[in-house]
Chain A
């Protein structure tokens, strides 16, 4: 992180003499990068503004004929969406807390190089990174654990991640031992040292892992699709999926026969998309701060 900042603050290095070729390069570069950014931002703008376009949703590129919040009124008048929002928030918050707690206590113990059995534990973890049982064996396991249609299916299987644990472990190793030793001399136990010294010093690392796991929890719909059939436990993503797939099925069958199936209007679909997206957009500025730490810690230090 520090390195990146240093370089970006560095004065442009072409202080000798701008050649003509370099100027052309710079101009072309700025134009192409502007285009690239527009290709990303225009379609998203189109969806967001469409959700405010009442019945005209999705029939223009930049600006609708009229703006209205009718679609949102309809979205929020459905009790199901409030239930789903509650589930989404609950699974994200509970998921992050459990994930951080479990990964960080394991990381603290494994950051001690004299821990007995450390090699065995690491070997087990590395195996889990390269091999997995896949969809069907995992489904049968979840079923036999009685986790089908349970809120805990969102939390327990995702609770531990060896990859996230390694990131935290590397961070803990950089904390000077002297801090812990003085606490140990005063008679503090390992748990005590962990909670009162390690955790407060590791806020940036914990925030990185917590944010990335939170985004994953919020976005995850596969867990619901595979293991949950009870609508009361549907998070927003799953509700949105149902709306989209129903409308799609109607559209593709409608080609063959003129059957009318009651589906959600385009405007309401788009408003639901925006509602589902908002938490990510709100978290995004915070996430951005941890982009580089998050990816570099895991990828390079291993």
Chain B
């Protein structure tokens, strides 16, 4: 009722009213202002800068003055062999990585949750969360050491009777596994944290009742734990699938070398190389924009599918 009355008043009065209450809130408004300015500068101006994808930028022009060229840049993408190579590598690495990183944390979280002795439980969590906090530069440096010709991997392989002196990081054919498995190593433990938090909220009487009825551990996990986590599992599924075209620039920049480049170049590192090293800003922006659009489309598709599976409720 109140609202309707408010809307009936003339526009001028409403603006004056709005101004008055803004005036009363000037202190709060000055608190918001720096955040808004920061978002406009560092988020919205670059979003406007995406228009570069439809322009031809040169050193002499600015973001706003470069001439429009329509879809010219996108036409070049279709014929760019190196771009499609980087797409292949991105999808290859992401597919391995996301599949393992989707299933493994669910399994590990359930196993951690079932550990009974809580100091051991704490210890396992402490150890397995740690790699998440190391930068890719540190992990990259470690990986190169482990995989080198005298490194830990070869020492272990020699111990179990496989004689090898290869420096694995220089082998292009191993790169996809190196990139994806090292990411799994880094993130699998941390990936359990949301599942564990969700599981701790499950009503323990469910399990007690199931136990009375003689349900085995595995049966309890399958019929209680997993259904109770379905929302967070679908959320992770959506994020995984829409991340198919995402690539890890930090990881690629530290692990890529002249030997493994044909298998290591991913979309992000390609954008970096073409845009910042070769200075072809418009083309690199077009590549970046194209890939983001595909990711958004994937996000919408998976959201629709999981919505259907989840009784028409969206988890996003």
Closest CB in chain A relative to B176 CB, distance in Å: 18
Q: Which residues of B contact A117 (CB under 8 A)?
A: 22, 29, 32
Measured CA separation A243–B138 after assembly (Å): 11
Kindly identify, within residues 104 to 147 of chain A, every residue whose CB is under 8 Å from any CB belonging to chain B.
Answer: 105-106, 108-110, 112, 115-117, 121, 124-125, 127-128, 131-141, 144-145
Measured CA separation A208–B105 after assembly (Å): 23
Contact B35 A165 (CB under 8 A): yes
Q: Which residues of B contact A134 (CB under 8 A)?
A: 46, 50, 271, 285, 288-289, 292
Kindly identify, within residues 127 to 169 of chain B, every residue whose CB is under 8 Å from any CB belonging to chain A.
Answer: 127-131, 133-138, 140-142, 144-146, 148, 150-152, 155-156, 159, 167, 169
Closest residue to A17 on the B side, CB-wise? B211
A277 with B138, Cβ < 8 A, contacts A33-B111, A128-B43, A140-B49 known: yes
Measured CA separation A157–B288 after assembly (Å): 20
Q: At the interface, yes or no: A90 with Cβ under 8 Å from chain B? A: no
Measured CA separation A250–B285 after assembly (Å): 32
Measured CA separation A137–B288 after assembly (Å): 10
State which of A70-78, A175-183, A289-297 sits at the interface with chain B. Answer: A289-297
Question: Which of A21, A115, A270, A292 sits near B32, CB closer than 8 Å?
Answer: A115
Contact A190 B197 (CB under 8 A): no
Q: At the interface, yes or no: B60 with Cβ under 8 Å from chain A? A: no
Contact A252 B140 (CB under 8 A): no
What 1/0 mask marks residues of chain B from 71 to 114 whose CB sits below 8 Å from any chain A CB?
00000000000000000000000000000000000001001101
A116 with B18, Cβ < 8 A, contacts A136-B275, A288-B126 known: yes
Q: Which residues of A contact B129 (CB under 8 A)?
A: 288, 291
Closest CB in chain A relative to B211 CB, distance in Å: 6
Contact A133 B145 (CB under 8 A): no
Measured CA separation A295–B129 after assembly (Å): 13
Contact B31 A108 (CB under 8 A): yes
Measured CA separation A73–B29 after assembly (Å): 54
Measured CA separation A110–B25 after assembly (Å): 12
19 examples of A-B residue contacts, CB within 8 angstroms: A3-B201, A21-B216, A21-B217, A26-B116, A40-B130, A46-B152, A59-B155, A105-B34, A131-B47, A132-B47, A133-B46, A135-B271, A135-B284, A145-B41, A160-B34, A160-B35, A160-B38, A191-B31, A219-B135
Besides A141-B45, A162-B39, 14 other A-B contacts (C-beta < 8 A): A12-B116, A43-B185, A46-B152, A116-B18, A116-B21, A135-B284, A137-B63, A141-B41, A219-B135, A225-B253, A252-B170, A252-B260, A276-B135, A291-B129
B contacts, CB < 8 Å to A: 18, 21-22, 25, 27-29, 31-32, 34-36, 38-39, 41-50, 52, 62-63, 108, 111-112, 114-116, 118, 120-121, 123-124, 126-131, 133-138, 140-142, 144-146, 148, 150-152, 155-156, 159, 167, 169-170, 185, 189, 193-194, 196-197, 200-201, 204, 207-208, 211-212, 216-218, 249-250, 253-254, 257-260, 268, 271-272, 275-276, 281, 284-285, 288-289, 292
A contacts, CB < 8 Å to B: 3-4, 6-10, 12-14, 16, 19, 21-22, 25-26, 29-30, 32-34, 36-37, 39-41, 43-44, 46-47, 50, 57-61, 102-103, 105-106, 108-110, 112, 115-117, 121, 124-125, 127-128, 131-141, 144-145, 156-157, 159-160, 162, 165, 189-191, 194, 215, 218-222, 225-226, 237, 240-241, 243-245, 247-249, 251-253, 255, 266, 269-270, 272-273, 276-277, 280, 284, 287-288, 291-292, 295-296, 299-300
